[in-house]
């Protein structure tokens, strides 16, 4: 077979990594697929911009049609980001019978099912391993390595920026704004960090993981999302005191035929394997009925880790080309989506509140919880600097989300409650 021709859409951090791996690993790639790979065209915004990799000028173009409509190009690698315009380009590429590899989780979370359908209709492959957890081969593990098992739960740290921020806040006692600035200076956080710190980036990844793991069409709107912007140093210190570590955790759980998918700051018992995943690293914990518990750990972002996932997808596309089986990998969702109602979602909760320092206040609070059948696993009652107030920190036993939300409403209405400081989900048992 002659050389396989690649077109790139984008030449930023990840695109440069793809070029680097293709150039430096030609021997290995040749051994894997039996023919060379050559880069034919690369779409860029500016041809004259200085780059971290050496590229021949004639390979660069500012016109997407030079890639999408190029009859010589077999595979389009999309690493430029964006959603609406990118969707149109990739649909055009697939209809032109070009295989597609993308790292775009925003696009796949919103339009993944449409793109996969068009790929299948045109006998094309569409792979997107790099869209979730950078260099960790989690999607292929779900669709191939664990294909014979029934996945019941996935929980993970799938955003390196927030993990870096929470690690620094927890270990160094630094304030959120201070650590965010450090993350931006180091290149872990964008100038506009909203997508990361509000949990949207992690939510898109959890929608993709849940869709594949449970074989259901899970949409971004199905994911309950809460970010890290309200976490304080006090929250982290109390968590530590109780034997927990705070992480932004994505959870996707299947019980019977119903699922819940969420992204929220969560107190993990210090003994949980995810509690020791620090800095910008990602990890996904997968529970299967047959395999039991497995964990996938590695760099969640970065030029070369993400590029490695992209080039691994490229290798699969090219092996399929050699075998003549492209477009056969798309598996449509097996089950109708059924989301759990709030009275079917159970968890333990951490609650921190300030109350009037008066006799009988705690009894009133206990009455509200017991009225919903919720008991306490841990209680800290502390004097407070503010005159006439006491601080109470609680960890509940398992409670339904519906009961817990009703409890919060009643607490806010209670005259003795001055204010509720924070509330988080809890996984596992602390000290």
Give me the CATH number covering residue 351.
3.30.70.260
Cα distance between the two ends of the chain: 62
207 and 186 fall within a common domain: yes
> In this structure, is residue 331 part of a structural domain?
no
Element (H, E) at 225: strand 224-225
> In this structure, is residue 330 part of a structural domain?
no
How confident is the model at residue 385, as a pLDDT? 67
Q: Of 267, 299, 331, which one is at a domain's C-terminal end?
A: 299
Strand 151-157 versus strand 244-255 pairing type: antiparallel
The CATH number of residue 166's host domain is 3.30.360.10
Give every CB contact of residue 67 below 8 A, 6+ residues apart in sequence. 7, 8, 9, 41, 42, 43, 61, 73, 76, 93
CA distance 154 to 150: 12
0.95 exceeded by pTM: no
CA nearest neighbour of 93 among 81, 109, 78, 113:
78
> In this structure, is residue 422 part of a structural domain?
yes
158 and 254 fall within a common domain: yes
How confident is the model at residue 257, as a pLDDT? 92
Residue-wise pLDDT tens digits, 279-307:
989 999 999 999 999 999 988 777 788 88
317 and 355 fall within a common domain: no
Look-up of token digits 């209680």: 379
351 and 318 fall within a common domain: no
> In this structure, is residue 333 part of a structural domain?
no
171 and 103 fall within a common domain: no
Tokens encoding 318: 């090219």
CA distance 214 to 122: 26
Active-site option among 41, 153, 168, 205? 205
How confident is the model at residue 69, as a pLDDT? 97
378 catalytically annotated: no
**Can you tell me the mean pLDDT for 95-122?**
93
pLDDT tier at 48 (50, 70, 90 boundaries)?
A: confident
143 and 275 fall within a common domain: yes
Looking at every residue in the chain, the average pLDDT score rounds to 91
Q: Is the pLDDT of residue 272 over 90?
A: yes
**Can you tell me the mean pLDDT for 204-226?**
94
Task: Enumerate the H helices of 135-175 as residue ranges.
Answer: 138-140, 160-172
CA dihedral of residues 52, 53, 57, 62 (deg, nearest 10): -60
Element (H, E) at 39: strand 37-43
Contact assessment for residue 155 and residue 427, using Cβ atoms and an 8 Å cutoff: yes
**Can you tell me the mean pLDDT for 173-180?**
90
Q: Is the pLDDT of residue 330 over 80?
A: no
98 and 124 fall within a common domain: yes
Look-up of token digits 């396989």: 4
CA distance 215 to 52: 40
127 and 144 fall within a common domain: no
3-state secondary structure 397-431: CCEEHHHHHHHHHHHHHCCCEEEEEEEEEEECCCC
> In this structure, is residue 334 part of a structural domain?
no
Tokens encoding 22: 């293709």
> In this structure, is residue 337 part of a structural domain?
no
287 and 411 fall within a common domain: no
Domain count across the chain: 3
Element (H, E) at 292: strand 292-299
92 and 114 fall within a common domain: yes
Burial of 272 (0-12, 13-18, 19+ CB in 10 A): buried
The CATH number of residue 314's host domain is 3.40.50.720
In this prediction, what percent of the chain has a pLDDT beyond 90? Answer: 69
pLDDT tier at 148 (50, 70, 90 boundaries)?
A: confident
**Segments forming the whole domain that contains residue 36:** 4-134+303-323
pLDDT tier at 83 (50, 70, 90 boundaries)?
A: very high
Q: Is the pLDDT of residue 384 over 80?
A: no
Give every CB contact of residue 404 below 8 A, 6+ residues apart in sequence. 347, 349, 372, 374, 396
Q: Of 289, 323, 357, which one is at a domain's C-terminal end?
A: 323
DSSP string, 341-404: PGGG-EEEEEEEEEEE--TTHHHHHHHHHHHTT--EEEEEEEE-SSTTEEEEEEEESSEEHHHH
CA nearest neighbour of 75 among 132, 9, 24:
9
> In this structure, is residue 328 part of a structural domain?
no
> In this structure, is residue 273 part of a structural domain?
yes
144 and 286 fall within a common domain: yes
373 and 256 fall within a common domain: no
Measured CA to CA in angstroms, residue 52 lies from 16, 94, 114, 301, 314 at distances of: 7, 30, 35, 17, 22
């Amino acid at each position: 077979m002659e050389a396989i021709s690649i077109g790139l859409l984008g030449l930023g951090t990840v695109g440069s990594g793809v070029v680097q791996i293709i150039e430096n690993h030609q021997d290995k790639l040749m051994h894997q697929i039996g023919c060379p790979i050559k880069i034919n065209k690369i779409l860029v915004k500016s041809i004259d911009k200085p780059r971290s990799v050496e590229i021949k000028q004639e390979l660069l173009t500012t016109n997407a049609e030079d890639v999408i409509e190029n009859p010589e190009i077999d595979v389009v690698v999309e690493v430029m980001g964006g959603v609406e315009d990118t969707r149109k380009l990739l649909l055009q590429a697939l209809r032109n019978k070009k295989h597609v590899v993308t790292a775009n989780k925003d696009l796949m979370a919103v339009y993944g099912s449409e793109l996969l359908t068009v790929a299948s209709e045109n006998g094309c492959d569409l792979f997107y391993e790099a869209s979730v957890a950078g260099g960790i081969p989690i999607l292929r593990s779900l669709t191939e390595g664990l294909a014979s098992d029934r996945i019941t739960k996935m929980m993970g740290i799938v955003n390196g920026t927030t993990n870096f921020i929470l690690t620094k806040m927890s270990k160094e006692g630094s304030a959120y704004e201070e650590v965010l600035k450090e993350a931006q200076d180091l290149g872990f956080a964008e100038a506009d960090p909203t997508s990361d710190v509000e949990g949207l980036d992690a939510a898109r990844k959890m929608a993709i993981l849940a869709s594949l793991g449970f074989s259901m069409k899970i949409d971004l709107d199905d994911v309950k999302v809460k970010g890290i912007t309200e976490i304080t140093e006090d929250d982290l210190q109390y968590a530590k005191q109780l034997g927990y570590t705070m992480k932004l955790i994505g959870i996707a759980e299947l019980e019977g035929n119903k699922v819940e998918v969420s992204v929220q700051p969560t107190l993990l018992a210090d003994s949980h394997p995810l509690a020791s995943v620090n800095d910008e690293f990602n990890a996904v914990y997968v529970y299967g009925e047959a395999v039991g518990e497995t964990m996938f750990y590695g760099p969640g972002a970065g030029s070369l880790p993400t590029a490695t996932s992209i080039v691994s997808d490229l290798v699969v596309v090219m092996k399929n080309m050699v075998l003549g089986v492209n477009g056969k990998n798309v598996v449509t969702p097996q089950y109708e989506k059924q989301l759990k109602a709030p009275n079917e979602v159970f968890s333990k909760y951490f609650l921190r509140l300030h109350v009037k320092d008066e006799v009988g206040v705690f009894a009133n609070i206990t009455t509200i919880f017991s009225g919903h059948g919720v008991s306490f696993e841990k209680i800290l009652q502390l004097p407070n600097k503010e005159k006439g107030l006491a601080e109470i920190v609680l960890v509940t036993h398992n409670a339904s989300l519906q009961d817990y939300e009703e409890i919060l409403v009643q607490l806010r209405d209670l005259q003795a409650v001055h204010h509720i400081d924070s509330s988080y989900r809890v996984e596992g048992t602390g000290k």
